[in-house]
Amino acid sequence: MAEPTTAPVPSDHIMGVYARAPLAFERGEGSRLYTTDGEAYLDCMAGIAVTALGHNHPKLVQAVKDQAEKLWHTSNIFRIPNQEKLAKLLTDNTFADVAFFTNSGAEAIECAIKTARKYHWANGQPERIDIIGFDGSFHGRTIATIFAAGNPSYVEGFGPALPGFVQAKFGDLEGLRALVGPTTAAILLEPVQGEGGARSWTETQLKAIRQLCDETGTLLIYDEIQCGLGRTGKLFAYEWADGAADPDIMAVAKALGGGFPVGACLATAEAARGMTPGSHGSTYGGNPLAMAVGVASVEELVKPELLAHVREVAGYFNQQLSGLKDRFPEVVLDIRGKGLLIGIKLGTPNREFMQIARDQHLLIAGGGDNCVRLLPPLTLSLDEAREAMGLLEKACEVAQAKAAQEKAGAA
């Protein structure tokens, strides 16, 4: 019998789940990151839409310093004043009445799923457990959230599919209607997909889904972890539908803490009626340190002048990227997304293009459907946006020349 093999121990002793770029950063300032070697990079990924106010934002830094000298943790056995302040900030600026605070976006989605199922249980319909999601979605890396999204590459190897999760095709409203039945609890979607290639639902589609939910007693859950908190040019992406597509439950995170781990599940009082004492909880969620940073972050993100700036910079990018698509049609195939969640579908392999961009000292994110994403800080200046476009143009020139060489070699 063959001897069992032993897996090699990685030199850094980090579990090998990340394909990391060979860069290490030691500090950041605004839209710049600086490596341990002192080289500057223009950051147009913002930690995957997290550092929305840029790096080393003075208000967030001060909030951490002030709170760190007072109190870090007490647990939710006691009242936490800044938790109540942040809950009011979020509910005053959204559809919601209540908030539950978490440490991550995945935990916020977990809370949303539990809230939806418990709502129907409280209404005497315990059979309504099914959550309908969509292809191309991404909701986190827990067992429940990977099956809610159903991406084959993320669920492979993690056992049989969890019951109660159903996948619909993105954009297919008739197919969605056919899936809604007596065991449906909620429809879960990202108004603008991030990981799935920056695909956007139209306002008309969101209104139709809201109407379908109203007709069938189904709850509507939005995942605005990536597209929310100013990223699209409104505080939340669902607001573009002018109040006609408000959700019942919504998960937020990423920009909520500006880099500090914090998330939230927001809900109407009706949707949260089943979430009674003991039905859910978190040891760290909503801790004083996270809440101090969250309050400081949201107070900045709700400012009308910041949202207007996002729309202005996004308009510039859209115009310039359209020109880039015309000049490099074999490299840039399509421009997608909304606001400063911008997807560029490529003819060149996206991982290869990300490396080419890094060679130009520009940081961009990957995405599904062979896309790359521009997710800069919302504070990115127009001058920095022009710089980013110049670096993208150079990356396209390199990618086009490389593709031409490969084609010539193949011939």
Active-site hit among 236, 246, 254, 338: 254
Residue 138 bears catalytic tag = yes
Cβ distance 52 to 224 under 8 Å? no
- Name the DSSP letter for residue 232: T
**Token representation of residue 340:** 């400063």
Active-site hit among 95, 100, 101, 138: 138
**Token representation of residue 172:** 């297919």
> With the CA atoms of 311, 317, 318 and 322 taken in that order, what torsion angle do they form, in degrees rounded to the nearest 10?
170
Residue 158 bears catalytic tag = no
Burial class (CB in 10 A: 0-12, 13-18, 19+), 230: buried
Residue 147 bears catalytic tag = no
Distances (CA, A) of 157 to 121, 146, 153, 283: 31, 12, 9, 29
């002192």: which residue's tokens?
Answer: 38
Cβ distance 230 to 379 under 8 Å? no
- Reference 338, options 356, 316, 358, 311; nearest CA is 311
**Token representation of residue 59:** 């208000």
**Token representation of residue 109:** 């989605």
d(CA 363, CA 227): 19
- Name the DSSP letter for residue 234: S
d(CA 376, CA 340): 7
Active-site hit among 43, 130, 135, 223: 223
**Nearby residues of 122 by Cβ (< 8 Å), 6 or more positions away:** 273, 274
DSSP calls for 54-66: -BT-HHHHHHHHH
Catalytic residues: 138, 223, 254
